[in-house]
Structures are given as structure tokens and as C-alpha cells.
Amino acid sequence: MHLSGIIIDNYRTFRHVEFTFDRRANYIVGDNNIGKSNFLEMLETLYSGYGFREEDFQNPDQPIQVRFTLSVEDRGKAEEIHIRLFQKITELAPSLENEEDHTPLPLESLRSLCYISHSLEDFPRKTLMSDELEEVIHIFSRYLSCGDDLCRESAELLGHMGIHTDLSGDPQAAALRLIYDIYGSDSQTARPLQDGVRIMLAAGIHLILELSRRKESRAFPFSDIVLTDSGGRKILPVMVSIDEPELHLHPYLQRAVLSYYRRILRNEEPFFLHVARKILEIDGLEGQLFVVTHSTDALVNDYRQIIRLYWDSEGQVQAACGSSFRFDGELEKHLIMHFPEVKEALYSRCAILVEGETEYGAFSWFAKTLHVHFDYHGICLINASGESSIPKLEQLLRRFVIPSVCLYDRDVRGNKKETKQIFYTENICFEMDVVRSCIEKGRQAVLDEAIRDISDMDPLVTSSMVKKACLKLDISRQKHPPRKLKHISGRDVKALIFYYFAWFYSNKGVISGRALGLRLEAGDIPKAFRNVICAAASLAEHSEKVNE
């Protein structure tokens, strides 16, 4: 069983927001103070059944209403349960009902949904409170009392992770040794790999501790939380939330710890699966992870597990949920493959999509020259790695409600027209725009300076460079022998344009782009590029005004 959808009305920053969820993991992103942590607090309030506080009501004259859908899947067959929770500001506790037939439901039935909010604050310090320490030792003493074979197998599994500990003998003493090996080592002397593994194990132990407490609690029978599938397997549905892991973990540990949570919740971590089976008396977990983060390092490379909160044109919060996006097979494959390049845009106010590395290397410098700072404006520059990729990535950005500006080379324009957000180079491609702009303004020296930044060698346009340029321009090679740039007459504008173009076209790349970006002054930057940057700045500014 997992949470597949929720509609929230009148709760804090959420006037009316609809969410759909991935059954495995969901990463919630968006601007500061938009309500990402509010969402997790709403889940905690929802599953506790304690009700909402007065300050939770966005409009005190209206009730808070939460409609959520639980999906139960068994051997390919899915069943949905639709539940509505609502509360007026004058009421002490909310009411609960089956949304389909409006049958009232007891509020305590919410406790049958196992939700755990995890803080990563203590994991980097690998600390346990005294009462937690006692509980953890008791849990592992029970676990290690299940036989010598289990102890040997557990020691092997931990050994594969780099934790070498003796689990034989007295279970209490073995449990103490294990806890010391995980929590008691000196972080100043521990190797980085060991330290990271210990933090991951600490995260897993905290999860087992919380689930064990649920099992021992008398507030709600644990047997009513566990589901039995058609094969007779006992499965514990559990939802785990983590708020801002980047506050306590560096990028590698963010990925490692969150991956470890996902593995535990998917029953892919053998040691903790063994512990869960013995201590909780279940066959496995059906876990769903919710993560709020401002860090691209914490995000998975799958847009289907991303939820982006944004402000609409009326200044109200909405949610764009990747799990609800539907694309054809080839497009979906392309978007999943290229999503790593798009992740940073999830936090932006606008994105600029360019075809290749040279544009990518140049545009941030062009923007600074034009007094447009991408970071200040919240503009993300994306290298689409080819013109055919631009419309595909733009489509994904549009689904996440991220405005974008696209720059294509003119040679792919065909009969297409420019729009407010789609631009084409004035000449056949980026390099020709730059070269022609500088040469025609008598700024050949700027190109020479950029070339010296790229290469220490005397610039020679070789026969292969000539061939490549002629193929691009669709002209004959016969009148263009190999030449050194310094031997071309300054009065022969046509030759200067061709040979400088040939050199830069054969030296495409981020280094070349950066050199041009650093050397060109505002008047040298081609009009098409200025238009792209100004359009992006305008979109970002409009987005900021909506947020105010």
C-alpha cells in the first residue's frame, strides 16, 4: 500500500494543490518559503490524527480539507481507497470519511498508516540518546539470539560493507560490540569509507528502532498495520520522510544515505531485511520515501520521482508532479537519459537551452558583460547536446512549469518562425555569428586574443579545417588553401570571415566558448545572443514578481 495522490485545501501556503506520487520515492523541490516542509508537516499531522492548529488555516473561514488516495497492489491487481479528512477552525479534531460513499471512519484508523519523519541531524555525529541506546541494544540482543548461523551470516553481510565485527557468543555482548563499532568509533581516525558506511548503518538502525516502537505500541495493534498478500506474505507498508539532507551531509553522503534508505524500503539491503523479519515478524517492507531538498546532489536522475512546487500566475502554490507526466517511449527514454543536465533548472526561474558546448561555455560570460547575472536572476543554462534535444528538454521543462528560451543554429530553422522564446542565430551557426560580428566591426583583435587564450601555437587553418568549414557552408574548397591567420590581409574581409570561422568551427568546445565569452565586449556580442539573454532575464523577472 502506498500514497498515490493527495489534494490539499486551505493548509498554510496551499490554497488548493493536487499531488500525484511515485510509489517508491518522491523528491520535493521548489523555491524558498513555498511550502515544501509544510507538505511534510501536513503528512505528519495527517497520519497522527491529532488535528490542525489555528495557524495552519490559510483562510480561517474555510475548513482544511485533505483528500488522499491509497493504492494497494497485489500481483498486478490494483485497488484504490479514497479518504477525506476535514476540520473547521472551531473544531478540536478533524473528521474522516470514505470519500466514495461518505461513510464516517474512526479517526484512529489513520494510525494504521505507518509514517515516520526522520531527521538526519544526529547521523553525522553518530549519536544515540541513552534511552535509544538501551532500546537498540535490546533489539539487536533479540536478533542475535536467533542462532549462530544468523550471527555468522550477519557478520558476513556487515563485512561486505566494511564493518568487521564479532557477533558470536553472548547476544548482549555481541550487540554491544556491534553498536560500538557503528556509533563508538572516533570520527577523526576513521577512514572516509568507514565513516560513510557507519552513517548509513546509523540511518538504518534509527528506522528499525522507529518500526520496533510501532510494533510495541499499544495505541494501535501492529497486526492491523501489516498487510497479508495473496501469497501469504506479511508486508509492512511504511512511508518515510526526510527534510533537507543537505544541511547535515556532504553531496556524496546525501546520495549514499538516500540510496540506502531506498534499498531498505525496497527490501534490497540484506542485513536490515533479516533484522526486520526477525524483530518485526514480517516478510518485508513496502516503502515509500519523501525527500524535501534544495540540493541537486540529493536528486535521483529520474524526472518521474520529482515534484516541483511553483507559484501560478495568481501567486498561488501549485505542484508539477513527474509521476503524472506521460511521454511516448522514445521521448521518455531520451528525457531520462538527459535529466541530469536538467536537474539544476528545477530550482530556477528560467532556463536557456543551447545546442552545444561552445555556446554553453560562452553564454554566462556574455550575460555578465550585459549585466545579467544568471545566479542573481535564477537563470539556468543547459547544454542540450544537439539541436534535436532542445525541443524534447523544453517539453519536460514546460511540464515542470519552468519557462525556457531556446537558441538554435539557423541552418536547422527551415520554415519555422522565431517566437518570444525561440531564437535562431543570424548566420548559419554560433561560430559564424561571433566571427562575422567581430570582423565586420573591425574587431579582429578580439578574436586573436581569444585564440591566444585557447592555444599557444601560431594559429594555422589546416586543410582539414578548410574542408570541415566548406562542408558546413556548402562552398567549394578550391579557392581556400590552408593559411595562417596572420598572413590574411586585414582588408580582405571575406577571407578573414572564412578563415577565422574555419578555425573556431574546428575548435568548438567549452574552452573556446569561455575564451570568446571573456573577450567579447557588449558591442561585439551578436544580436541573437543578446536577445536570448534579455528574453530569459525578462521571464525570470516576471516569475519573481509573481512570487512576491
Q: What is the pLDDT of residues 144-187, one digit of tens each?
A: 999 999 999 999 999 998 888 899 999 999 999 998 888 875 44
Report pLDDT digits (tens) over 323-334.
999 999 889 999
Cα–Cα distances in Å, from 201 out to 2, 309, 311?
25, 32, 39
Q: Is there a contact between 406 and 353 (Cβ–Cβ < 8 Å)? A: yes
pLDDT tier at 189 (50, 70, 90 boundaries)?
very low
Cα distance between residue 526 and residue 436, in whole Å: 9
Nearest-angstrom CA–CA distance, 538 and 17:
27
Sequence spans of domains, the chain:
2-118+297-309, 123-283, 326-426+526-547, 430-524
b/e code 255-270 from CB counts within 10 Å (16+ = b): bbbbebbbbbbbbebe
Q: 1.10.10.10, 1.10.1200.10, 3.40.50.300, 3.30.830.10: which CATH number matches 2-118+297-309?
A: 3.40.50.300
pLDDT above 90: percentage of residues in the chain: 79
Q: In this model, does residue 126 exceed pLDDT 60?
A: no
Measured distance CA(262)–CA(421) in Å, rounded:
39
pLDDT above 80 (res 419): yes
pLDDT at 442 over 80: yes
pLDDT of residue 187: 44
Average pLDDT over residues 229-243: 93
pLDDT of 128 > 80? The answer is: no
Cβ proximity of 84 and 20 under 8 Å:
no
Provide the pLDDT for residue 6: 98
- pLDDT of res. 309: 98
The chain-wide mean pLDDT, for the chain, equals 92
pLDDT of residue 75: 67
Kindly indicate the confidence band of residue 188, based on its pLDDT and cuts at 50, 70 and 90.
very low
CA-atom Rg of the chain in angstroms:
30
What mean pLDDT is predicted for residues 36-63?
94
Looking at residue 14, its pLDDT comes to 97
Percent of the chain with pLDDT over 70: 96
Specify the pLDDT at position 495: 96
d(CA 197, CA 200): 5
pLDDT in tens, 250-268: 899 899 999 999 999 999 9
pLDDT recorded at residue 279: 96
- The per-residue pLDDT for 127 is 60
